[in-house]
Amino acid sequence: MTFCLDSTIIKPENSNNIKNAIILLHGYGGDGKDISMLSLNWKRHLPNTVFICPNGHESCPINPTGYQWFDLTKDDPSYILEQSLKAEKILNKFINEVKEKFNLENSKICLSGFSQGCMMSINLGITSDKEYNCIIGFSGKIINIKDLETRKKSSTNTLLIHGDMDQVVPANYMLEAKDFFIRNDINIETHLIKNCDHHIPMESSSIALNYIQKRIE
């Protein structure tokens, strides 16, 4: 089966049965191979998990070799929301293909992403008819709070991690998202990483792995 998005796929070693999937969404200008580096440490502790890391459906204007989930060249919230909804539709199709390929339900799938990929993971997880296993978000935010409030359907457990020195997506956006989750009765855990800018340090990766291990086989 061919997925609608080109993807880097890391299957369990030793032909272990696949019981869970972690879908990793890259940031603006990145690609699936880039974000798949998270699996290098995680896969040793999650022997029955397949890691699926798609490329965005659009090339990125600031990095011709990279991809984006939605365009950021216009500083227009309405335009950004419109473009993100298009990406959401494509990613939902992709996730359905993953579920069919590996015979998995939402409860066996973790959605995770960095920056723009985090933003998409939040939207996908909270607007789904059925709860996912969890959402793991690094250095992101909620794209449009009013929109998400009107479309919320599920209460997927969520972990958000952010660097306190992030100048690309400032850490106050994590607090803004935390407020949204609390107001909507969604279990939310947050971690602010000291002396960290816009990237995923080992500390963040370890916190995320520990969170996932508590929730999947």
pLDDT over 80 (residue 17) = yes
Beta bridge pairs of residue 162: 192
- Examine the pLDDT at 1 and tell me if it is beyond 80: no
* Residue 198: pLDDT band with limits 50, 70, 90: very high
pLDDT reported for residue 14: 80
Domains of the chain in start order, with CATH, are: 7-213 (3.40.50.1820)
The model scores a pTM over 0.85 = yes
Mean pLDDT value of segment 10-32: 94
**Mean predicted confidence (pLDDT) in 49-69:** 96
Average pLDDT of the residues in 34-60: 97
Percent of the chain with pLDDT over 70: 100
Q: What is the dihedral of CA 178, 161, 27, 142, to 10 degrees?
A: 0
As a whole number of angstroms, the distance between CA 50 and CA 61 comes to 31
Amino acid at 93: K
Does residue 158 contact residue 188 with C-beta atoms inside 8 Å?
Answer: yes
- Of the two residues 13 and 67, the one the predictor is more confident about is 67
Judge contact between 72 and 81, C-beta under 8 A.
no
pLDDT of 15 strictly over 90: no
